[in-house]
Structure 1
Amino acid sequence: MKLDLREALRQQIIIGDGAMGTYLYQMGFPVGISYEELNLLKPDVIADVHKRYYEAGARLIETNTFSANREKLSKYGLEEDVEAINRAGVELARKAVGNDAYVVGAIGSIRAGMRKNFRTVTIKEDLRQQIEILLDTQVDGLLLESFYDLEELLLALKIIRKLSSLPVICQFATEGTGTTQDGVKLHDAFAMLKQNGADVVGFNCRSGPNGLLRSLEKVAAAGDVLPYSIFPNAGIPDYVDGRFTYAATPEYFAETAIKFADLGARIIGGCCGTTPEHIAAMSKAIAMYTPEPTAVVNEQQNVSRAVLPEREPVKASDEITQAAVEPNIIDLVKQRHTVIVELDPPRDLDIEKFMKGAHALKEAKVDALTMADNSLAVTRMSNLALGYLVKEQTGLRPLIHIACRDRNLIGTQSHMMGLHALGIDHVLAVTGDPARFGDLPGSSSVYDLTSFEIIRMIKQLNQGVAFSGKALKKQANFIVGAAFNPNVKHLDKAVQRLERKIEAGTDYIMTQPVYDAQLIEKIYEATKHLSIPIFIGIMPLASGGNAEYLHNEVPGIQLSDEVRQRMSGLKGEEGRAMGVQIAKELLDTAMKYFNGIYLMTPFLSYEMTVQLTNYVWEKSGRAISTCTH
């Protein structure tokens, strides 16, 4: 006889299932439809997905009802089908799996992190409708998942507790900030959920294993509240040629499942991007799991406020003279080794450390300071504003990233015109990571333009022609770069894509970080026929955890086994020192083949990229190189 879910959690770790929506997407069902409606339209498909997860080892099965509330279904004209879709979702899950599996009714947030004004009474009515339907079926419990703020999650939990004593699992979507979206500390939020009748608390979505592991470490360090449930994404999604892909492997999920278990997780499954293969790997790992005592370190940063050095701002007249005589990046890299350094704009309103880093890099004589455009879809300060401040206060050349994600055609041209007016003429055109996986998942990804199209449009401004085709009174003078990911299985195909960007008008290339000297040589051989310069990306690693996160969860980055082994277990100053040493070894190879060097600064630790910039100058002596690629 199957144990009650609460009793089962006291005796064992239960493996949850993986993604439904992204798995259906991988099977060919397009974005923009209601995946919950497939309970009625394609019941055999939904049942088969449940069966695959069950056969992979999942014993906690979520019904395909995550967005089966009136508000979400109304977008597809399905608001009258709430009951039919929810009942079918439970029936399909129940019939597809064995009697030893626990079927839980999945209920998602209605606000879903959006700033849209929902009336509380409407949210309450819609939640109550779905909850009452699911409670009238054969579910073993309810799962409240992907909630962003405590207020809405408590609202749902209180409704359930007035109607039923069934087990309830409550999960927040978080990116490791330590608080809910409405500003409540996670441990305090969990305590309030326990007080109001939750049986299990935890996290899902928003982050891969690394981010959720950090969140779990924080709450576990504050003291146990309830059993934990963890359902991470398969890393950060990549968006290539109109398709979403995920980087995290089943093997990586197996390793992190053990770490989650050591921190008290009693339910471990997967969210976006996970497949039956991920679940099977975790199931196998947990089957052989023996708990070990784990000391959880509650890390605190002791950061003193930096004081900016006093400097005379660059006068406008000086800027004009400098611009008139200073060669652009393309001219420089044809003559000598040239260093571009990336420094991330801050996620808050304090630019003190950023500007101190910019001044330090100016002293190190970098040739350009590049700033991403809300990378990984995480909201940061405007790189246009910071680019201007860098230019005005340090005299450094700003190189601004332009993402297709955030602006439509109108906004993109307006942005480019603003850059021109400020005298910022070096840019990097990128697609941009999907908005729904960033810190404001309710925002829209625009994608009016592809990376190829935005390159063409920017170069069109150089001809004095607007995006609309209308003649402009002046011509711009943008130097346009494009991104290149060499960390792929088929390098030749990636180079073919690169050739298309060159045809579109790209002036130079900046690569994703490379962590393998042999790959640098392969990149040279594969691209030496190209007519434009390439800046090889080198990003020093900060710790062993940072290395594993980049390798397993960030699209476009692959670390060699040797690098991962050398970084394994290193933290703090020891980790940063090894990261710099590995980067120097990579630079030894990169400088043999390429004049262009692109250094990325981890966590605003600009001291690391200052060291590496000085290393480039020591090796080259700022001598004129015969290498022009």
Structure 2
Amino acid sequence: MKPDLRTALALKPRVGDGAMATYLYQLGLPVGVSFEEFNLLKPDVIADVHRRYAAAGAEIIETNTYSAQHNKLSKYGLEKKTEEINAAGVSIARRAVGQEAYVVGSIGAVRGGAGKNVRTAVVKRDFEEQIGVLLASGVDGLLLETFFDLEELSLALSIIRKKSDISVICQFAVEDAHRTHDGIPLPEAFRRLKGEGADVIGFNCRSGPNGILRALETIPRDLGVSLSVFPNAGIPDYVDGKVVYSATPEYFASSAIKFADAGARLIGGCCGTTPEHISAMAQALQGYSPNAHAAAPEGATPAQPVEVIEASFQSGKPPLVTEPSIIDLVRERHTVIVELDPPRDLDISKFMAGAQALKDAKADALTMADNSLAVTRMSNMALAALLKERVGIRPLVHIACRDRNLIGTQSHMMGFDALGIDHVLAVTGDPAKFGDLPGSSSVYDLTSFEIIRMIKQLNEGIAFSGKPLKQKANFIVGAAFNPNVKHLDKAIQRLERKISAGADYIMTQPVYDPDLIERIAEMTKHLTIPIFLGIFPLASGRNAEYLHNEVPGIQLSDSVRQRMSGLEGAEGRAEGVKIAKELLDVAMARFNGIYLMTPFLAYEMTVSLTEYVRKKSKSLTSDK
């Protein structure tokens, strides 16, 4: 599923479409008519234009509704068809491009540059009507384009914001590279529109690439708003009875890179542009890297890109850590993640002792649940920071959807980034009513799919709200997988959705059946990300029955339950480790990733199993 328009525009430079009216003119349609009426008279022609732009690489398609307002349509006797024309414009665009591109409702200025005589009440009425229809018709965003005056643009924006939180792009038509038509300095106008809720602000029409680039360069880069540009194809000329534009697609291709380097996130074309111009820009922006052609400052090396050096000075964080991630490790060798539950009280001495012992046993990462089973435990963020500082082992923290709303979750993730804790596991979390504080509420603002996607969004430097952040995070995001189900194929389909959402690796619930381990290996061999198979050593017969009968997602085989039946204390732990080693023998032949879970902070058990994995891994390697 593609991100919403606000997020898409913030993630990377996107390509918009080109002109509608002047392109229809080039195709032989007459001038002096309402091109918007063609939504009713020639819908196939309009749809074909949309398809051509989409095929050329446009990711954002504008509806043919630029002048579809009561006052402007009245010049052609079409004012009573205002709603019909606007609704048809959205329907045509949507049918033409489907979900392959974003459809934005185009809204032009009612007054324009010379329409000062139009009363404000009329302007407001026309905007209210058109905006209402476009929103009701299901656009992905609204584009306020070719506005000369800040006041009129601000009025249209305020009407939208009273009706919807939809993505809004605001574009001025300027003749002066420093101020709007009504004399407002461009940086001031941009700041005001940002404060009033504009998501993207920029320029279109009136100028070719050079003029719009000069205007774009007057906007401070720290304004914190995405920028857009839709230049004309140069200055129009009248040749052999036809209006022509001279700017070539090749010129637009080189200009697109300059626009992107200047901070533009939406780059399209206005009067005189064609699908050929859009195609040239789309090709030029493929694989775009900001200022890739610029000379590196003194001290930069190929291993330290300019962006990384700048980020380290801005945030106080070191350049990107070169230590291999667990993804790098597991692709090369058997890799062990060990879960050690945070304590339920304020004493962390046993937890820290266990962490040190597991590090000495050469565990690759220590993972901590986020109040598992809805039981209150010490913050895994605090413990993760302590593990890095005092023990020197990589922490891998669970992030549950249950306990924090969107605000709290993003804040939590930002804190992890600041601490340099970049390995996380996204989970739904058990309902609060089943934990030790049953009166507390479960939030669940996000599903496990959404939290994966939104954490990965932080890696693009985009907040959950869709707003750009000043730098990018570097999270490695895991997803949970429960194979202990009746229909394993359906569980794997759900897993594939998590991978599509952005999961980098998988950690399974504990498995106690060797045959199931083999089935998992066979049915997931098509997946491209590593799987860490869960092994949970049983501590006693009662522990086995509790896990099997009361803990969601865990099922023990009948043979394992029989072997553990009646065993307690040291005898039970010894048999539990023995069973776990038998399961490891099967798992290690099929998976490089091993996920060990420690029962009741009895870390001696997982230390033993970690050492077993290391020893057996050497044996398996030497046998190859």
> TM-score by structure 2 length?
0.49
> TM-score by structure 1 length?
0.48
